[in-house]
Structure 1
Amino acid sequence: MHENTEKKLLRDCAATRIPSGETITLAKDTNVYITQALGGSYTVATDQGLARIADEDADALGIEPAAKAEGAAGGDSSIAVDEKAVWDQLRTCYDPEIPVNIVDLGLVYDCVITPREADGSRVDIKMTLTAPGCGMGPVIASEAKSKVMGVPGVGDAEVELVWDPPWNQAMISEAGKMKLGLV
């Protein structure tokens, strides 16, 4: 909907430089070109290269931020965590350079939900990246954690970046391969 759209920033805006992961500020009146708008974040081309603008700063683009999940129970230990809901949240996380979510890219290796008597369940996720040197890894992992924390019943989440086994294109789901034109 917003992809392939040129915008002028309405205010100074925090952004993450791609692929280094460095935090930068894009100045008001900067012209940007939205190249990807997925999962509540926006990849923009600027005169400084590619950058990622988070949903909470969408207003700087003149875009209404995405609605936050309503009724998330957070750490309520009386609610059993729905594993499908966790995976669905992970499917809303995207590499800013690839239009396929991290699950269909095959980046998520493991997801373990541990019920606890108090403070909600703990979710431990192991994921990798398409390239070990990608500076966006901590940004993507943090986004995954934040989104999983919004699942009802989750009281704590941890996302660990792992490198074994090394990622390769064979790990991409059929849906992801179709999106990338690999089938």
Structure 2
Amino acid sequence: MALQDQLASMREAANLNNLANTEQTQGGGQTDTSQRKILGRETNKTSGGIKLGSLSSDVGAAGELEGRRNTEFVAAEMGEASLATQQRIEETQEVIGSRDLDSIRQTLDANKGAVYSLYRRALRQDPSIEGKLTVRLTIEPDGTLSSVKLINSELEAPDLVEKLIGRIGLINFGAQNVTTTELEYAFNFLPF
């Protein structure tokens, strides 16, 4: 209530009569005009590009590739990177039989964890064990290994080599309508 009374007294005190007698002047001065910039309008402009006319066109030569080289990289699986588990079927040896080479590699890759676990266990006992183990595999049409022969071993641990050959002999490649397949396969065992 007190606020309403104060507002009412202010209305009564305001004298509006002298406001009507003010003079208006026209054209007495200049006003600055302001313009609004809309940011979105500027986005449709281009940079104008790069002018290439002044560049020399005789730099370099229009040549051809001299040759093509392919590099094959075998990446280690997760958890086995430090073992440098580079395995490959020896290209110099001929695969005898009609079993698909890719299916053989897939099966060996799927089973290499079990093979390398034997190596890691032996590595805890003797950290100096390292080297290459090459075996000749004879794969029957039903997928079993009828023969695992040691071709070469750089591992200086005969007990480990015997366990590795025994574990490799348990690998099953799956039955296929193929002939008996023979191949040499190399395992590289490197410590951490």
Query: Which structure features the higher share of helix residues?
Result: 2
TM-score using structure 1 length: 0.28
Structure of greater Rg: 2
Query: Which structure features the higher share of strand residues?
Result: 1
